[in-house]
């Protein structure tokens, strides 16, 4: 059973991120194991499905508490998309909604003791980021054709041709680099936040245990460390929500570039 | 030349700020709440934007140098472009915070409404 829950008893803060295979699957030379990361991802997805299944089952005019929360989640995402890219952006509602609740459930499931945080691995967050950017590029070219390239060369208006040439020679590389940096920052931000938060939690918990077992005056240190850990724990719940929100809103902002390439 | 404005710059600034506060945009209270919660988060995100763009610029420079065997010419050029791109995406990210604030304020209003109807 212990393999489901990562090295719960281990004292170093890194071992909680170790990936373990629960079921060896080998397809045509590819290693497609069912790992502890996969397991907790599936748990998160099922919890989300169960939550919205129950929340949407009654459809009461005067909503129950659970239904209100579900509706709040819906209007939250819908308002966000409408506010940034108008009614036109709502065709991406399913994508953004899924991304938000996938990351939120992964982050929150990771807050359970002994659970594995799937979003603390750059492989997971990078996959999400690359998927978002691929959709932006693909849809941008599909909708605007080559006009999508206007994103990298904003119209400058009336200007001397030489001045225009010089400005574009500077602007296009800058715009290109800042576009290429988007998937990197998108992936790294989520990954780094979850990783750092869980390491800090583990460190404070480890301090508390070590100082308490040392006894003597260090007991006070253990109490302080425990309180700090508890505070960080509360902060981590906020971070779990905030990072999912940030990922979703940046997805919408980038998709808006595909909808309206001219700034 | 038009008649110069008699009021001092200070007055005009105060008036402009008042007008701006009255128009759309997040209220000062919202901004304070947001900043008190995640000032470090904002700093971290701007730093990430800057570092990310710089690293991408460096990587492109190294790649071009390998390709054309011109080390370190493109490395230096693209590093400069990377830093510039980092500053620019930092500024863009800061502008996006305003959008985020508005979205959060909207969600807060929704939640208040729900809480209001829940408690009779």
Task: Give the range among A29-43, A64-78, B91-105 with minimum mean pLDDT.
Answer: B91-105
What pLDDT does B29 receive?
Answer: 56
- pLDDT at position B74 over 70: yes
What pLDDT does A252 receive?
Answer: 92
Confidence band for B120, pLDDT divided at 50, 70 and 90: very low
Q: Does B37 touch chain A (CB under 8 A)?
A: yes
Confidence band for A154, pLDDT divided at 50, 70 and 90: confident
Q: Which of B52, B53, B96 sits opposite A188 (nearest CB)?
A: B52
- pLDDT at position B38 over 80: no
Q: pLDDT (tens digit, 9 = 90+) per residue, A216-249?
A: 888 888 999 999 999 999 989 988 998 998 899 8
What pLDDT does A191 receive?
Answer: 92
**Domain range annotation of chain A:** 2-259
Q: pLDDT (tens digit, 9 = 90+) per residue, A52-79?
A: 988 888 777 777 788 888 888 898 899 8
Residues of B in contact with A242 (CB under 8 A): 38, 41
Confidence band for B67, pLDDT divided at 50, 70 and 90: very high
What pLDDT does B101 receive?
Answer: 74
Subunit contact B41:A178, Cβ cutoff 8 A: no
The whole-angstrom distance between A193's CA and the closest CA on chain B is 9
DSSP state of B6: -
What pLDDT does A5 receive?
Answer: 46
Q: Does B43 touch chain A (CB under 8 A)?
A: no
Q: Does A260 touch chain B (CB under 8 A)?
A: no
What pLDDT does A30 receive?
Answer: 80
- pLDDT at position B1 over 90: no
Q: Which of B38, B48, B82 sits opposite A242 (nearest CB)?
A: B38
What pLDDT does A3 receive?
Answer: 45
């Amino acid at each position: 059973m212990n393999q489901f829950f990562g090295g719960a008893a281990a004292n170093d803060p890194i071992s909680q991120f170790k990936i373990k295979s629960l079921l060896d699957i080998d397809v045509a030379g590819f290693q497609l194991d069912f790992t502890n990361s996969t397991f907790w991802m599936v748990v998160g997805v099922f919890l989300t499905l169960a939550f919205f299944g129950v929340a949407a089952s009654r459809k009461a005019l005067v909503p129950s508490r659970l239904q209100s929360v579900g509706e709040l989640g819906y209007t939250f995402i819908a308002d966000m998309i409408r506010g940034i890219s108008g009614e036109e952006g709502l065709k991406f509602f399913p994508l953004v909604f899924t991304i938000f609740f996938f990351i939120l459930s992964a982050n929150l499931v990771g807050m359970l003791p002994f659970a594995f945080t799937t979003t603390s691995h750059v492989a997971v967050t990078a996959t999400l980021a690359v998927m978002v950017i691929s959709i932006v590029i693909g849809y941008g070219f599909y909708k605007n054709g080559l006009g999508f390239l206007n994103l990298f060369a904003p119209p400058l208006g009336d200007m001397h041709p030489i001045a225009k040439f010089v400005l574009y020679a500077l602007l296009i590389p800058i715009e290109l680099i800042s576009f290429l940096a988007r998937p990197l920052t998108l992936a790294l931000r989520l990954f780094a936040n979850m990783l750092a938060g869980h390491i800090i939690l583990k460190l404070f918990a480890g301090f508390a245990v070590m100082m308490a077992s040392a006894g003597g005056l260090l007991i006070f240190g253990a109490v302080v460390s425990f309180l700090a850990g508890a505070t960080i724990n509360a902060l981590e719940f906020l971070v779990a929500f905030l990072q999912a929100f940030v990922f979703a809103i940046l997805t919408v902002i980038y998709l808006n570039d595909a909808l309206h390439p001219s700034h | 030349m038009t008649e110069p404005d008699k009021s001092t710059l200070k007055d005009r600034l105060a008036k402009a700020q008042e007008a701006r506060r009255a128009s759309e945009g997040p209220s000062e209270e919202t901004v304070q709440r947001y900043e008190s919660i995640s000032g470090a988060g904002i700093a971290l995100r701007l730093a990430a934007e800057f570092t990310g763009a710089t690293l991408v610029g460096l990587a492109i420079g190294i790649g071009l140098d390998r390709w054309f065997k011109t080390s370190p010419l493109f490395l230096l050029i693209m590093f400069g472009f990377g830093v510039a791109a980092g500053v620019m995406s930092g500024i863009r990210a800061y502008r996006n915070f305003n959008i985020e604030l508005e979205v959060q304020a909207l969600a807060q209003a929704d939640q208040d409404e729900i809480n209001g109807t829940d408690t009779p």
